[in-house]
Chains A and B, each alone.
Chain A
Amino acid sequence: MSQVLTRPLPQRAPWAAALARLNAVDVVLWGLRIGVVAVVIAGTIGTVVQDRYDAAQWVDFVVFGLTLGAIYAMIALGYTMVYGVLRMINFAHGDFVMCGAFAGYFVAVPLDRSGFLQDHAVLGMSAILLVSVITSTSIAVLTERIAYRPFRRVTGLAPLICAIGVSFFLEQTFRGMFGSAVKSYPSPAWQRATFDVFGFHLPRVDLLVIGLAVFFMAGLYLIVQRTKMGTAMRAVAEDGEAAALMGIDVNKVVVFTFVLGGAMAGIAGVFYAFVYKQVYFFMGFTPGVKAFGAAVLGGIGNIPGAMLGGLFLGMVESVGPTLFLDGLGIPAPYQLRDMIAFTLLIMVLIFRPQGLLGEKLAKKRA
Chain B
Amino acid sequence: MLAAGVLLFSVGPLFSVGPLFSVGAHATQTLGPVTDDIGVLRIPKGAPIQIGGSWVQSGPDTALGLDQKRAVEIAIKDLGGKLLGHPLKLDAEDDLCSAEGGQTVATKFAANPQIVDVLGPGCSSAATPGAPILWQAGIVDICTSCTAPKLTAADRKPEYYGFARTVYSDIEQGKADATYAVKIAKVKTVATIHDGSPYAQQLQQVFADNVVAMGGKVVAQEAVAPTDVDMHPVLTRIASFKPDLIYYPLFTAAAAQVSRQVKETPGLQNVKLMGGTSMLSADFIEAAGPAVVGLLFGNPDLSPDAMGKGYPKFVADYKKAYGEAPVSGYHANAYDALTLTVKAIEKVAKTDKDGNLYIGRKAFRDAVFSTKFEGISGAIGCDPYGECSQFKPSVLEFISADPKTFGIGKNPKKIWP
Given a CB threshold of 8 Å, the question of whether A touches B is answered with: yes
Q: Name A residues whose Cβ lies closer than 8 Å to a Cβ of B.
A: 52-53, 56-57, 60-61, 64, 68, 180-184, 186-187, 192, 201, 203, 276-278, 280, 282-283, 286, 317-319, 321-322, 326, 331-335, 337-338
Q: Are A286 and B223 in touch, CB under 8 angstroms? A: no
Q: Are A278 and B256 in touch, CB under 8 angstroms? A: yes
A186 to B401, CA, bound (A): 12
- In the assembled complex, B158 has its CB within 8 A of some CB on chain A: no
Q: Which of B232, B252, B265 is the most central at the interface, judged by chain A CB atoms within 10 Å of its CB?
A: B232
Q: Which residue of A lies closest to B237 (CB)?
A: A322
How many of chain B's residues touch chain A, expressed as a range?
35 or more
Q: Are A277 and B289 in touch, CB under 8 angstroms? A: yes
Question: How many whole Å from B82's CB to the nearest CB in chain A?
Answer: 35
Q: Are B252 and A182 in touch, CB under 8 angstroms? A: yes
* Contacts beyond the supplied A277-B257, A278-B253, A332-B222: 8 A-B pairs with Cβ under 8 Å: A60-B236, A203-B264, A277-B256, A283-B229, A286-B227, A322-B237, A333-B237, A334-B237
Question: How many whole Å from A312's CB to the nearest CB in chain B?
Answer: 16
From the candidates B58, B222, B240, name the one contacting A334 in the complex (CB within 8 A): B222
What are 20 inter-chain pairs, A to B, with CB distance below 8 A? A52-B240, A56-B266, A57-B236, A61-B232, A64-B230, A180-B60, A182-B256, A183-B286, A184-B256, A192-B264, A276-B230, A278-B253, A278-B256, A318-B232, A321-B233, A322-B233, A333-B237, A334-B223, A334-B233, A338-B225
Question: How many whole Å from B17's CB to the nearest CB in chain A?
Answer: 41
Q: Which of A282, A317, A332 is the most central at the interface, judged by chain B CB atoms within 10 Å of its CB?
A: A332
Q: Which residue of A lies closest to B240 (CB)?
A: A52
Q: Are A280 and B233 in touch, CB under 8 angstroms? A: no
Q: Which residue of A lies closest to B289 (CB)?
A: A184
Q: Ordered nearest first, which 10 A-B pairs have the shortest CB separation?
A: A332-B223, A276-B229, A335-B223, A182-B287, A64-B232, A334-B234, A181-B283, A52-B240, A184-B289, A182-B253
- In the assembled complex, B188 has its CB within 8 A of some CB on chain A: no
A184 to B229, CA, bound (A): 12
- Given A180-B62, A201-B266, A334-B222, A61 and B283 contact (CB-CB distance below 8 Å): no
Q: Are A335 and B233 in touch, CB under 8 angstroms? A: no
Collect the chain A residues with CB atoms within 8 Å of residue B236's CB.
Answer: 53, 57, 60-61, 322
Question: How many whole Å from A149's CB to the nearest CB in chain B?
Answer: 32
Q: Mark B200-218, 1 if CB is under 8 A from A, else 0.
A: 0000000000000000000
A282 to B224, CA, bound (A): 17
Collect the chain B residues with CB atoms within 8 Å of residue A317's CB.
Answer: 230
Q: Are A278 and B257 in touch, CB under 8 angstroms? A: yes
From the candidates B62, B196, B225, B230, name the one contacting A68 in the complex (CB within 8 A): B230
- In the assembled complex, B175 has its CB within 8 A of some CB on chain A: no
Q: Mark B3-43, 1 if CB is under 8 A from A, else 0.
A: 00000000000000000000000000000000000000000
Collect the chain B residues with CB atoms within 8 Å of residue A201's CB.
Answer: 266
From the candidates B60, B228, B266, name the one contacting A280 in the complex (CB within 8 A): B60
- In the assembled complex, B146 has its CB within 8 A of some CB on chain A: no
Q: Are B287 and A184 in touch, CB under 8 angstroms? A: yes
Q: Are B287 and A278 in touch, CB under 8 angstroms? A: yes
A247 to B286, CA, bound (A): 54
- In the assembled complex, B239 has its CB within 8 A of some CB on chain A: yes
A70 to B199, CA, bound (A): 35
- Given A52-B240, A181-B60, A332-B221, A282 and B196 contact (CB-CB distance below 8 Å): no
A202 to B266, CA, bound (A): 10
From the candidates B225, B230, B283, name the one contacting A182 in the complex (CB within 8 A): B283
Q: Are A60 and B62 in touch, CB under 8 angstroms? A: no
Q: Are A184 and B234 in touch, CB under 8 angstroms? A: no
From the candidates A57, A68, A282, name the one contacting B227 in the complex (CB within 8 A): A282
- Given A60-B236, A332-B221, A277 and B196 contact (CB-CB distance below 8 Å): no
Q: Are A334 and B224 in touch, CB under 8 angstroms? A: yes
Q: Mark B60-95, 1 if CB is under 8 A from A, else 0.
A: 101100000000000000000000000000000000
Question: How many whole Å from B382's CB to the nearest CB in chain A?
Answer: 35
Q: Are B239 and A57 in touch, CB under 8 angstroms? A: yes
- In the assembled complex, B290 has its CB within 8 A of some CB on chain A: yes
- In the assembled complex, B272 has its CB within 8 A of some CB on chain A: no
Collect the chain A residues with CB atoms within 8 Å of residue B283's CB.
Answer: 181-182
Collect the chain A residues with CB atoms within 8 Å of residue B237's CB.
Answer: 52, 322, 326, 333-334
Question: How many whole Å from A70's CB to the nearest CB in chain B?
Answer: 12
Q: Which residue of A lies closest to B281 (CB)?
A: A181
